[in-house]
Amino acid sequence: MEISNKISFKNQVVIITGGGGGLGKQYALNFAERGAKVVVNDLGGSLQGKGNSTKSADVVVNKIRSRGGIAVANYDNIVTNPEGILRTAIDNFGTVHILINNAGILKDASFKKMTEKQFRDVLDVHLNGSYKLTRACWSFFRNQKYGRVIMTASPAGLYGNFGQANYSAAKLGMVGLGETLAKEGIKYNIKVNIIAPLAKSRMTETIMPPDILKKLSPEKICPLVLTLASNSCPSSGNIYEVAAGLYAQIRWERSHGTYLKPDSSLTPEAILFKLPEVIDFTNEKPQHPTQLSNYNDIWSKTSILSS
């Protein structure tokens, strides 16, 4: 297949949260290289969200400027001052076209040991922070009839991961948020997609073996993010898994299931007996629901049973 024209972000303004390190830093450099005006937001705290520093955002901004690119730093916390981040974009560049919700922290603990504060703090940064900043940008996207949003989820959110109840809940929350915003945004040419990346960063370098880490350079995540953030992005509301050179879409799958009459025979024991059918994905063509109207076939089948 022929590779289409080069994707450019000239005259486009992108906000990258957590743009001072890891994945966000690579995004910032890549967007700037393709002409974007970049707001590099980073609180500059520890992996657990402690402390703050202007250094990480400044280093990225200086690097972009030294290469002839356009960037400005912002050090606000996405949870407590999302408006400050947007204001940096507006004051310096007049608007925002692209939002990369990327900032994140970890407060891992087994569910038994996880405190409510650890749970809330992680939800606050990932889910509430992404919500707040996206909400702040939304009216700009709507008014200019153009917006691109990336939600950064995680395989831990899609599949669960030991010790990450807070993180998994936040990340799958971001999937639902992104899927709904894609539906609400489409008539304003606002496209929202979700990525579940795996890459070498301070989040992974102490928990993954060195030979695997070698394959996980964060640069490999950038091409997909830039495609989804581009004017030519054909996708909205989709989830992509991206790691080590794999670029794949994830979707929901519903088994064919079973239909039971809503009478006195509909008991827990009947469900237990039918469970093999409920969980059988080989039985008939499975379905891949993407919206509530995908329930129409269920309404028609269950109404036959009830009649």
- Annotated catalytic residue within 37, 132, 171, 220: 171
Return the structure tokens found at 229: 């953030």
| Position 39, amino acid | V
Q: Is 55 helix (H, G, I), strand (E, B) or coil?
A: helix
At its nearest, how many Å lie between ligand NAD and the CB of residue 235? 19
DSSP annotation of 147 reads E
Alpha carbons within 13 angstroms on the beta-carbon side of residue 7 total 17
- Annotated catalytic residue within 75, 167, 191, 220: 167
| Position 207, amino acid | I
At its nearest, how many Å lie between ligand NAD and the CB of residue 233? 20
Terminus-to-terminus CA distance in the chain, angstroms?
A: 53
Residue 88 or 152 having the CB closest to ligand NAD: 152
**Known catalytic membership, residue 171:** yes
Residue 12 or 154 having the CB closest to ligand NAD: 154
Residue 81 or 144 having the CB closest to ligand NAD: 81
Q: Is 100 helix (H, G, I), strand (E, B) or coil?
A: strand
At its nearest, how many Å lie between ligand NAD and the CB of residue 301? 38
What whole-number distance in Å separates Cα of residue 279 and Cα of residue 298?
Answer: 17
What whole-number distance in Å separates Cα of residue 231 and Cα of residue 229?
Answer: 7
Residues 6+ apart with CB under 8 A from 96: 13, 14, 15, 39, 86, 89, 90, 137, 140, 141, 147
Residue 148 or 171 having the CB closest to ligand NAD: 171
At its nearest, how many Å lie between ligand NAD and the CB of residue 12? 21
Return the structure tokens found at 186: 């489409």
Return the structure tokens found at 68: 């002839």
At its nearest, how many Å lie between ligand NAD and the CB of residue 124? 8
Residues that bind ligand NAD (CB under 6 A): 17-18, 20-24, 41-45, 47, 49, 56, 77-79, 102-105, 125, 129, 152, 154, 197-199, 201-204
Residue 104 or 185 having the CB closest to ligand NAD: 104
**Which residue minimizes CB distance to ligand NAD?**
22
Task: Give the active site residues.
Answer: 167, 171
